[in-house]
């Protein structure tokens, strides 16, 4: 069973994604904030991170998925994790330039997200 970590400040969206991905057989961890995120990623060992661009409610120095992605890519324990950026704005090019493995624009259909995740796991 593959583990997916959700880094999403909208708790309703995180809840819906947790249910959807759980139904599909994924082990899901939704980061809710309140602590330094890099140690949490290390302890959870996700294969895929679904990373929202807007992280305004998580607090701390990380206010954007684009703040967090370079920290993941520079960390030798985390750099190989597949990171998919999600946003309601089209950040396809910025996501690729920042080192993301994929981008999905909100709102998206559940099947589109599942196909993207599964393509990255194969």
Q: Which domain holds residue 73?
A: 3-121
pTM of the model: 0.95
Q: What are phi and psi of 50, to 5 degrees?
A: -95, 110
**For residues 34 and 100, what is the distance between their CA atoms, to the nearest angstrom?**
24
> Hey, which bits of 38-81 come out as E strands?
48-52
The CATH number of residue 101's host domain is: 3.40.50.2300
Is there a contact between 106 and 122 (Cβ–Cβ < 8 Å)? no
* The pair of three-digit structure tokens given for residue 113, joined into one six-digit string: 């997200």
Q: What is the pLDDT of residues 57-111, one digit of tens each?
A: 666 678 899 999 999 999 999 999 999 999 999 999 999 999 999 999 999 999 9
Domain total in the chain: 1
- Closest by CA position to 54, among listed 18, 9, 16: 9
């Amino acid at each position: 069973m593959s583990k997916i970590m959700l880094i999403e400040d909208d708790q309703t969206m995180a809840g819906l994604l947790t249910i959807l991905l759980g139904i599909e057989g994924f082990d899901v961890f939704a980061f809710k904030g309140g602590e330094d995120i890099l140690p949490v990623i290390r302890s959870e060992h996700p294969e895929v991170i679904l990373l929202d661009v807007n992280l305004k409610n998580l607090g701390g120095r990380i206010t954007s998925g684009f703040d967090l992605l370079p920290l993941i890519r520079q960390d030798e324990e985390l750099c190989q994790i597949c990171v998919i950026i999600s946003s309601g704005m089209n950040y396809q090019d910025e996501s690729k330039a920042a080192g993301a493995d994929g981008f999905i624009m909100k709102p998206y259909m559940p099947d589109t997200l599942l196909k993207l995740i599964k393509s990255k796991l194969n």
